[in-house]
Amino acid sequence: MSTNITSTNPIVQAIVAGTAPQPARIAAARGLLPLPQADLLEALVALRASDDADIARAAEATLEAQEPKDLLGIATDQDASTAVLGYLAARPNAGRQIHEAVILNHSTPGEAIALLAGATTDGSLLELIVINQQRLIRNPAIIDAVISNPARTPEAERRAREVWREFFEKERGAQQIAEELRARGKAAAAEFFETAESVGADGSFTIDDAWLIAEHIEVSDADIDDAWLALERIEELLAETVEQRAANAERIISNIRTEGGDVSPERISLLRRIMLMTIKDRIKLGMKGDREARSILIRDANKVVAQAVINNPRITDHEVESIAAMRTVSDEVLRLIALNRAWARSYPIIHNLARNPRTPIPTAISILPRIRTSDLKSISQNRNVSEAVRRQSLRLAQTRSGN
């Protein structure tokens, strides 16, 4: 028996399953069986596809003779046969009321809605169809039908295209990039774009942008440890607007210029493309990116993104030494560098942390006992660091000198 049979009537079940005797099939096709309306329609819809041409014609004629009010009652029934709902959706002369009821009925098959979306000349029905976003996601053929229908309204087209961009274009673009990167032997970059949120998300980050960034990904997912990303930091992963991302990029460019770093057009282009990515993608790029990507993302206004950089397994002591001296980096990043045992054994790193005004005062003071006396004297006279750090530097220097 077909799993699509809704009726519990054994005669209807036999007709739909194709096991009913010929007389019963003929009587049903002519509407002569004493069946409830829902059962009769389910039997007729099944018989209109019969191999017996006479039975198929009789069933079609009986369906055409049904009263609109009876059809409307079935169209609004959430428990109606999906085959009957599909028939009503595809019936050109069903009328607006029935078509509207079928569209609003969650039991109507997506394929039937796609047929209706492609055939209707009523733009308002198309607007009603695209309101059900979940149905569009499950049945992308509906989106194609709406966009291809000359009767579509601007609103129907806008909604259909928005769903396509958000749920299909982005996924398809990212997956296509990942497959091509794997074919080129760039597994780390492929892993990144298989789960990337940014590609095609809002039109601001294109597939061309993705190809450029792929050249700056070098760490495999297997080498990443994201245990540091605690759940309590999730509130910092909130979505940004495109305008906020652009402002973040311009701030970083300005900081690099102030520091006397490379501000070539090529680097600025890469920087802006990276900063157009979502926060989650920037976090992952921070952990997977190469030296160039790290040098950009360490300056990100979002602290979690900057922390991702120092959790990149490829970051070098020389990079950390430079970061420890930066005055545009997050104070949290400087604190975490100081807590890293390996980096804390590097004198150039702790020296830079001690004299960096951005280093948290408790962190800087805890470092001072490991600073050379000559450098302590220099820090004690450095007006850029806090007074507490200067005083403690002077006190330690004097103690070591016996004063």
Shared-domain flag, residues 129 and 267:
no
Residue 348 lies inside a defined structural domain of this protein: yes
Domain boundary among 315, 342, 374: 315
How would you classify residue 326: left for phi > 0, otherwise alpha for psi between -120 and 50, otherwise beta? beta
pLDDT at 237: 66
| Dihedral sign for Cα atoms in the order 391, 396, 398, 403 | positive
Residues 348 and 298 in one domain: no
**Does 129 lie in the same domain as 193?**
no
If you count them, how many residues does the chain have? Answer: 403
Query: What angle do the packed helices 207-214 and 170-183 form, to 10 degrees?
Result: 30
> Across residues 367-382, what is the average pLDDT?
95
Higher-scoring residue by pLDDT: 121, 201? 121
206 and 138, same structural domain? no
How far apart are the C-alpha atoms of 102 and 113, rounded to whole Å?
Answer: 8
Q: Is 165 a member of any domain?
A: no
Q: In this structure, are 190 and 290 located in the same domain?
A: yes
Domain identity same for 343 and 210: no
* In a shared domain, residues 342 and 306: no
Instruction: Please write the tens of the pLDDT for every residue from 97-112.
Output: 999 999 999 999 999 9
Same domain as 296, residue 334:
no
CB 132 within 8 Å of CB 118: no
> Does the structure show a pLDDT above 80 at 296?
yes
> If pLDDT is split at 50, 70 and 90, which confidence band does 2 have?
very low
Residue 113 shares a structural domain with residue 200: no
Q: Which of 158, 175, 208 is the C-terminal boundary of a domain?
A: 158
Within a domain: residue 3?
Answer: no
Cα-Cα-Cα-Cα dihedral of 270, 272, 275, 281, to 10°? -40
Asked if residue 135 is part of any domain, the answer here is yes
Looking at 251, 283, 315, the residue that finishes a domain is: 315
The span from the CA of 75 to the CA of 140, in Å, is: 23
| Position 137, amino acid | I
Taking only the tens place, the pLDDT of each residue in 80-138 is 999 999 999 999 999 999 999 999 999 999 999 999 999 999 999 999 999 999 899 88
Please report which helix (H) or strand (E) contains residue 10, including its range.
Answer: helix 10-17
Q: What is the predicted pLDDT for the residue at 1? A: 32
Flag whether pLDDT at 37 surpasses 70.
Answer: yes
For residue 173, the model assigns a pLDDT of 63
279 is a domain residue: yes
Q: Are residues 335 and 253 in the same domain?
A: no
DSSP string, 211-242: HHHHTTB---GGG---TTS-GGGGGGG----H
pLDDT at 53: 94
Same domain, 146 and 197: no
Average predicted confidence (pLDDT) for the chain: 90
Structural domain count, the chain: 3
Is residue 403 over pLDDT 60? yes
The residue with tokens 């979940």 is 134
What is the DSSP secondary-structure string of 312-336?
A: -TT--HHHHHHHHH-SSS-HHHHHH
Q: Give the whole-angstrom CA distance, residue 403 versus residue 398.
A: 5
Judge whether 175 lies within some domain.
no
Checking if the pLDDT of 396 tops 90, the result is: yes
Report pLDDT digits (tens) over 144-199.
999 999 999 999 999 998 888 777 765 666 777 888 889 989 999 999 988 888 77
Could you tell me the CA-to-CA distances from 280 to 45, 67, 143, 209 in Å, in that order?
51, 57, 29, 17
Residue at 177 is within a domain: no
Q: What is the pLDDT of residue 209?
A: 83
Top pLDDT among 194 and 392 is at 392
Would you state the structure tokens that stand for residue 279, as one six-digit string? 């926060």
Both 38 and 79 in one domain: the answer is: yes
By residue range, what is the domain housing residue 294? 186-315
**Amino acid in the structure at residue 225:** D
Does residue 166 sit within a domain? no
